[in-house]
Chains A and B, each alone.
Chain A
Amino acid sequence: MDMSLYPHAVAMSADEFMSWSSAMINEMLSAGTKRTVDKLTGPVWAWAMRNSMHPLHFGLACCAIEMAAASDTRYDAERVGMIYRSSPRQTDILLINGWISKKLRPDIRRLYEQIPAPKWVVAMGECAISGGPWYDSYNIVQGLDQIVPVDVYIPGCPIKPDAMIDGFMLLQKKIDAYFRRGVFMTD
């Protein structure tokens, strides 16, 4: 943004800046500028975000082995843009692979909250989808969607690495559609 147009914006208190910037955003909304900017930048955002999916590197159970197999040289998940990050602050996808014990519920919820929006959740394997082999167990959550909203389910016990990559390509379509809708300046 060219600050020379708004010389008084350089030295403002936080409160002054909040009221000034919301007035400016409202002005752009009413003048239709936002829609134009969104339309122009949407495809760029969509291209950038769908090709740089950063799931959280959070291996829970046996399906985590398949997650590792998917990133080896044979399947090479990085060619569709998956790079695992170890901190939820640096990721945009929560990938849950394996059973969720009831004691883990608050921690999964906290990891979900720590990921900056927009964020997606992938439930990988029968355990994360519905409890799987631990159906009706005293200690396993019967499906990830009881704790956080889930975008893509990848079934299998364990899932194959190619199924996992397939699921992430479905997620790419979802990310693409989300950004094409135009979300620039929404926050």
Chain B
Amino acid sequence: MSEDANIIEKPSRDDIVSLVKAEFGGKVEFIESTKKNIKAINEGRRLFMKADREVLHDLAKYLHDKLNFEQASSVAGVDWVDHMQVVYHLTNYCTSMVVEITVDIPNDDLHIASVSDIWEGANWHERETYELFGIVFDGHPKLERLLTPKSYEFFPFRKSYKLRGQE
């Protein structure tokens, strides 16, 4: 690992909660999971938070630089019809801790800061979220469609998108 003394290599669940609360205050909200009988949740290896759009990039950088979350396992979108959501799963290799961050964004302004400058691996996740939901990641080095042809002008995972067989 890094020799930087500021890094906490194996932050415990309580460490993360208190440090993030001290750094970001009310902008980040912690959510208790209602799911039972899931081993990872019972052992405290999952942490759910909801962040404001403005602090997302700072929060991601903080988790990466200070709390040793070295991998962005996934970046995905959710269409809740009245708003959209971006979901990040970040992993710490040393403690197997996974942090889930959800960020709400309004339908009329689908912009969010890209985290691909922090984790290179988020690059394609963000491109895929862009092509499926039309969410624009500001600061992304190459925000183009990934698996669908460039000529597509629709975003197939939105609830408003209908296939031929549907009403």
Stretch from B30-38, B112-120, B156-164 contacting the other chain: B156-164
Contact of A139 among B148, B164, B165 (CB under 8 A): B148
Hey, which chain B residues are within 8 Å of A138, CB to CB?
148, 154, 156, 161, 163
Please tell me if the beta carbons of A139 and B163 are within 8 angstroms of each other in the complex. no
Whether A136 pairs with B149 at a CB distance below 8 angstroms is no
B148 lies within 8 A of A136 (CB): no
- Whether the Cβ atoms of B156 and A136 lie closer than 8 Å is no
Question: Is B147 at the interface (CB under 8 A from chain A)?
Answer: yes
Chain B interface, DSSP helix/strand/loop, else mixed: loop
Interface size band for A? under 10
Q: Is the interface of A mostly helix, strand, loop or mixed?
A: loop
Complex: chain A residue closest to B148, CB-CB: A139
Whole-angstrom CA separation of A139 from B149 in the bound complex = 9
Bound complex: CA A41 to CA B46 (Å): 73
- Chain B residues with Cβ below 8 Å from A136 are 163-165
For residue B152, give the distance in angstroms from its CB to the closest CB of chain A: 8
Interface string of B85-114 (1 = CB under 8 A from A): 000000000000000000000000000000
Residues in A neighbouring B165, C-beta threshold 8 A: 136
User: How long is the Cα–Cα vector from A160 to B149 in the complex, in angstroms?
Assistant: 32
Measured between beta carbons, the chain A residues less than 8 angstroms from B147 are 101, 103, 139
Contact B148 A103 (CB under 8 A): yes
Interface residues, chain B, with chain A CB atoms under 8 Å away: 147-149, 154, 156, 161, 163-165
Please name 9 pairs of A and B residues whose Cβ atoms are closer than 8 Å in the assembled complex, sorted by A: A102-B148, A102-B149, A103-B147, A103-B149, A136-B163, A137-B163, A138-B148, A138-B161, A139-B156
